[in-house]
Structure 1
């Protein structure tokens, strides 16, 4: 029998809390990085505090998804939460940058488990019809974390010290753990695999690590040979991984999933979210500081508008899809809004009032939110119940890989484009908004035109990515979300006797 309404509410509160903690730790650290690097004396390794977390949370997705199907989502969820709390404690006590990076890697690994298992548990205790509403609530953790993370991180660092950026997780996470022990049900587990795909997991991890390193080094433009070597290792590894998965009796990423039209279209839509929006958000403040000559504080209003639109679109379509049972129309509308909005951004002349691009990017965010969580819920319904964790991991994986690769490509394109067009006397390696705002007005205008011309093809390319998303959305099969009940969660005694 399904969960009672009260227990379901407690479950959603618990899952939302831990999902928010995992998402927040990805954003809250950004404003404390300079302080951390200064106190630990390792400015040159500062970026690895973020990269280590992101890399670990990405490469573990397929492994944890498979383990959730085999060992049970509840076990992986509670284990990930316990490790996350321990890693947060270790981060705060870090005495050097190596210690901090290692603890952040552990945090990233456990964060992947929290994100995946929250979505998997919701899929296992709700019907397809109910799922979009609850998935949208859990998915709201990410945009909220983007909105408040940097501000919260700065306030904690200034008033309590950077250690509390990590230690603040302990009381909140401990309360969520206590609630989860009661609220998260014992769920039916899949059959134990006769052969766990160790070779596939190892090769995939190596290939993905090489890919992330390659795009990271390529964006720095100072490690050309290393980036090329990493790209070669990654390409060879993924070819080998494909061969392994085709032959493995129980692959970690079942390739036959993609013969299903719903799953294939859903994976494409998920990748487009990472490529089309997540990749550009980090560069928007720089664009508006240079092209619109705003302050750093004011330039953050456009990303805030984007994320706020994403939050509204996510919650609204989740509610509508659960209420009506219809789902196909929302990705079609969402990708169309994204494509139109990014194309308009390419046409906007620099110097317009800032509220204009805020509205445009808010529309892009709302369009993206319209299918951000919904597509996960739809794809979960297309896979066997015994492989819910695996398919959830796959959908999240393509999104994160798309975001990582596109972010590096866009960063490289902007860096090369600006450096090639700057007037004499300005050095791209030392160019800052503060420096530009202090030069002659005609030079400021010239720099603004340069940034506008460099970003225009970027916006057009991202609009094209969303246009591909329109095709993927149209290819989703017609249908309605099912009201059929899910299998009953096992009781504790049943689990022990199983």
Structure 2
């Protein structure tokens, strides 16, 4: 029922956004779309893992990851085509077809369980408000910092407020029986390592698409359509490689597969750091496919599957929700992280360069791509700790 309700909310928000005449209406519609998808993504993965035995959860993760990763890899290309043909309002209307199909299939196929008196759990309102306050402070502060409009004292106050909110949240959630954010899960070393990699994965998946689009259009000088075509092979490769990633996770140690994916992605972005306007488009397409197709493709199935295998069965749902939260948090932070690195390097390069602004901008994009590659390399350290022995009962 919760899955169907959130699909209905997504459909209603899409209609409101598609017919909206004011920016506030569009923002409100996007908020409700995001809230609904937050529930849907967690519930979908819970259903998949409940349907698959533990030894085949890598394949279940591949099925889930196909939808999760295909959207940001093919989205820039498809959205550009949709806007060119039907206009921006179609961005709200086109996904409704898939949502309606999902609503019909959910109504027909998903099992319905009667609610029992013992199944009700009190909602953690204090934890909810602390999470909201922390995220608003984090993203608001990062946005203002990016625009360089905050004086030093206000920046220090914001950092202190973030620290206080984080410590308060952890202390509160550790003591609650039905915590909104299950911080006690981080006592399990394999889950802890998987969570850190999931955070980096979120930064890499969404941040890389944002960076590559800017790099190719603003730095190299390609059109939006050509940029989409260069990025398209990575989405196709992802479709082909995700099932392979699921089988690899079910066959080989997860930490080795995830580490291999991180190495592929890191190598590709460091390679992009040496690109220029003279680099052939095929080279750009190959590097992007290596990172977003092969690297991220074989990583996706292993993260949630390994994290949940490391937990007792009773904590599986909390583990899935926490991993999804961290992945989405990394994705939401990624544009700000990318732009902070880029603007930092642009300021340094402009001060040191006697050439044109375009040369400084191109150099800054190269250095930002290298920086993203280094972030992937750093994630290898927690990935190597994703070694499973025997899953807790």
Q: TM-score interval w.r.t. the shorter chain?
A: 0.7 to 0.9
Q: Counterpart of 2:345?
A: 417
Match of 1:469 in 2: 379
**Which one of the candidate residues 163, 166, 178 is aligned to 1:250?**
178
1:201 and 2:128 aligned: yes
Distance in 1 (CA, whole Å) between partners of 2:45 and 2:219 is 40
User: Are 2:222 and 1:294 aligned?
Assistant: yes
User: Do the aligned partners of residues 363 and 160 (structure 1) sit closer, same or farther apart at CA in structure 2, a change above 3 Å counting?
Assistant: closer
Is the aligned partner of 1:328 residue 2:238? no
TM-score (norm 1): 0.69
Tell me which of 273, 284, 287 is aligned to 1:357.
Answer: 284
Counterparts in 2 of 1:217 and 1:389: CA distance versus 1, 3 Å: farther
By how many angstroms is 1:302 displaced?
4.4
Q: Identify the residue that residue 165 of structure 1 maps to in structure 2.
A: 91
Gaps of 5+ in 1: 1-74, 427-441, 485-498
Question: CA 1:95/1:240 → structure 2, altered by over 3 Å: closer, same or farther?
Answer: same
- Please state how far the C-alpha of 1:310 moved relative to its aligned partner: 4.0
Residue from 133, 137, 152 that aligns with 2:59: 133
SS across alignment from 2:32: helix
What's the offset of the Cα at 1:458? 2.6
8 Å Cα contact 2:230-2:285 kept in structure 1: yes
Q: CA deviation at 1:371?
A: 1.3
Using a 3 Å threshold, how does the CA distance of structure 1 residues 309 and 194 change in structure 2: closer, same or farther?
closer
Shift of 1:411: 0.5
Displaced runs of 4 or more, over 6 A: 225-228
Shift of 1:291: 4.2
Matching of residues 9-28 of structure 1 within 5 Å: none
**CA distances 1:379-417 after superposition (whole Å, capped 9, x unpaired):** 122233333332112112222222333421320232343
Residue 318 (structure 2) pairs with residue 399 (structure 1): no
Cα 1:342/1:78, change in 2 over 3 Å: same
Is the counterpart of residue 218 in structure 1 residue 169 in structure 2? no
State the Cα distance separating 1:143 from its structure 2 match. 3.3
Q: Please give the secondary structure, in 2, of the residue aligned with 1:117.
A: helix
1:297-349 Cα offsets, whole Å, 9 max, x none, are 33344443444444444332113334x36533211211122222233333446
Q: Is the 2:11–2:99 contact (alpha carbons within 8 Å) kept by the matching residues of 1?
A: yes
Check conservation: 1:292, 1:350, Cα contact below 8 A. Answer: yes
Distance 1:194 1:163, change over 3 A: closer
Q: TM-score, normalised by structure 2?
A: 0.86
Q: Determine the structure 2 residue equivalent to 1:110.
A: 36
Q: Which runs of 5+ in 2 are unaligned?
A: none
Using the alignment, how far apart are the partners of 1:448 and 1:327 within structure 2?
43
Q: State whether residues 245 and 301 of structure 2, in contact with CA within 8 Å, keep that contact through their aligned partners in structure 1.
A: no
Distance 1:260 1:381 in 2: 11
The question of whether the paired residues in 1 share the 8 Å contact of 2:254 and 2:386 is answered with: no
Indicate the SS of the match to 2:55: coil
User: Residue by residue, what CA displacement relative to the aligned partner does 1:179-226 show, whole Å, maximum 9, x if unpaired?
Assistant: 112211236989546653221121111111221222223223346687
8 A Cα contact 2:207 2:338, kept in partner: yes
Equivalent positions of 1:168-179 (< 5 A) are 168-179=94-105
Please name the residue that 1:337 is paired with: 264
Measure the CA separation in 1 of the matches of 2:169 and 2:304. Answer: 24
Counterparts in 2 of 1:469 and 1:413: CA distance versus 1, 3 Å: closer
